[in-house]
Structure 1
Amino acid sequence: MTELLDFTALFGDLVPSRPVEHLGNSDLSFGGKIEPPLKVHEDGGENGCGGKVWIAGELLCDYLIEKSNTEGILSMSKDKLNVEEPFCNILELGSGTGLVGLCAGFLARSKEIDAKVYTTDIEKLLELMDANVRLNNLDQFVFPEILMWGQPLTGKFEADAKKKIDLILAADCVYLETAFPLLEKTLLDLTEGSNPPTVLMSYKKRRKADKNFFRQIRKNFVVVTIKDFARYEHYLKQRTHLFQMIRIQN
């Protein structure tokens, strides 16, 4: 455990850098389904790969938009996801720009859904997430927080919190092999207990090493591919997938 926590302390330095390529705002309406479009500021590579909009995030947004109505976020998939109550306490892991959390917050506001959305990432991305929340006037629905993978959970994110997280969203979190054990530990900690939250993960297949994460995670989760959404084939052609991860109860 000490080894894991020592590694975690360096996690912020492990985020791969990339050339400064795009700096500015993107308008995302998802085919006119979100009006006005979401405005997302990207940092141009200043904080590594986290400050950019990625296709896996767009997939997860598409799914949220398609499957949500005035009864709740993902209410149209409740039977398939095997849940009874509407989701009201939502956590996005590895948020980066906060796109997926912004989309969930927009749905909560526009459909008058009583829900809180927490976008989380390393400390140096907190300012970017906060800026995007303010850019979209979603500060009453979306709350940026620091959450370092592999570190013990605290406060509202603990499994036994008074108002526990009931939906976890993760887009393109499987990209850095050295962070796989940290991501796994955080997923295990967040889903501890007899009534674990629903976990949805979108992922673009890029390298062979990624299979190591899914091989390991299947020791504690059943990984179910989700195909029942309109643009499934569109994303499949781009090697981008959506999974539900169901914690195995020992």
Structure 2
Amino acid sequence: MVDYFIWKNTELNGTLFKNQKVVELGSGTGLVGLAVAKICPEIKQMVITDQLPMMSLMQENIRLNHLNKSVTAVVLNWGEAIPHLSEALDADVILASDCIYLEVAFMPLLETFFALTNKPSSVIYLAYKKRRNADKLFFQAAKKKFILTEITEDPKMKVYSRDKSHLYRVTRKPLDQQRMQGLQKVNSEV
């Protein structure tokens, strides 16, 4: 994912994510979010998120990388209500790298995607490494509310593909399209 953003930022003459709020989900150490904040200095705000046990590590990494002014670490548990004052809300861009790994987390992750994409222009970049057939369940559920488009313009895509790694651009389906899918499902069950 970071390689793609480095390339894309170069293609856009250093304007990738300019004046945009970016939220990373499941940040762990914060590597992806911190790297993006470094390569995209015109970013409005970077919010890296994970569960409480990761907070001190993420905050330390923010400090060590001198990104205190542009990066914030926030507790975010997938599937739980996001406080209305949370810095994670109103994101322009959501990053999710290596977050599809545990079946019980599929629906909470999708619920969080949905909660964070309340702007029509919000986009999710989803980096995924195929490991198990069960991962198909995530994508089947995701396609009910989102449009997933594999990013193929990356010059290193062939290298990633050999490693079964993929990068998707994910956007929320328009509400009328979501409703129609729900009606089609109901009609097929009748």
Q: TM-score range by the shorter chain?
A: 0.7 to 0.9
Q: Quick one: which amino acid aligns to residue 237 of structure 1?
A: R
TM-score after normalising by structure 1? 0.65
Q: Which residue of 1 aligns with 2:184?
A: none
CA contact (8 A) 1:225 1:243 kept: yes
SS in 2 for 1:219: helix
Structure 1 segment 58-69 matched on structure 2, within 5 A: 60-69=1-10
Count residues in correspondence. Answer: 171
Structure 1 segment 103-182 matched on structure 2, within 5 A: 103-109=35-41, 113-154=42-83, 155=85, 156-158=87-89, 164-182=90-108
CA offset digits 1:203-229 (Å, max 9, x no partner)? 000011100000011000111000111
* Runs of at least 5 residues in structure 2 that lack an aligned partner in the other structure: 176-190
CA offset digits 1:28-82 (Å, max 9, x no partner)? xxxxxxxxxxxxxxxxxxxxxxxxxxxxxxxx111111111555225xxxxxxxx
Q: Quick one: which amino acid aligns to residue 96 of structure 1?
A: G
Which stretch shifts more, 129-138 or 65-74?
65-74
CA offset digits 1:89-110 (Å, max 9, x no partner)? 000011011111011110233x
Is 1:220 the counterpart of 2:145? The answer is yes
Partners in 2 of 1:73 and 1:140 — Cα distance? 19
Partners in 2 of 1:98 and 1:114 — Cα distance? 16
* Runs of at least 5 residues in structure 1 that lack an aligned partner in the other structure: 1-59, 75-85, 159-163
Partners in 2 of 1:229 and 1:244 — Cα distance? 12
Is 1:239 the counterpart of 2:164? The answer is yes
Q: Quick one: which amino acid aligns to residue 61 of structure 2?
A: N
Calculate the aligned-residue CA RMSD, in Å.
1.5
Q: Quick one: which amino acid aligns to residue 15 of structure 2?
A: G
Partners in 2 of 1:229 and 1:120 — Cα distance? 26
- Residue 157 of structure 1: CA displacement? 3.0
CA contact (8 A) 2:25 2:49 kept: yes
Q: Quick one: which amino acid aligns to residue 141 of structure 2?
A: Q
Is 1:89 the counterpart of 2:21? The answer is yes
Partners in 1 of 2:154 and 2:127 — Cα distance? 13
Identity of aligned residues (%): 35
- Residue 114 of structure 1: CA displacement? 4.2
Partners in 1 of 2:43 and 2:22 — Cα distance? 11
Is 1:100 the counterpart of 2:32? The answer is yes
Partners in 1 of 2:162 and 2:23 — Cα distance? 28
SS in 1 for 2:144: coil
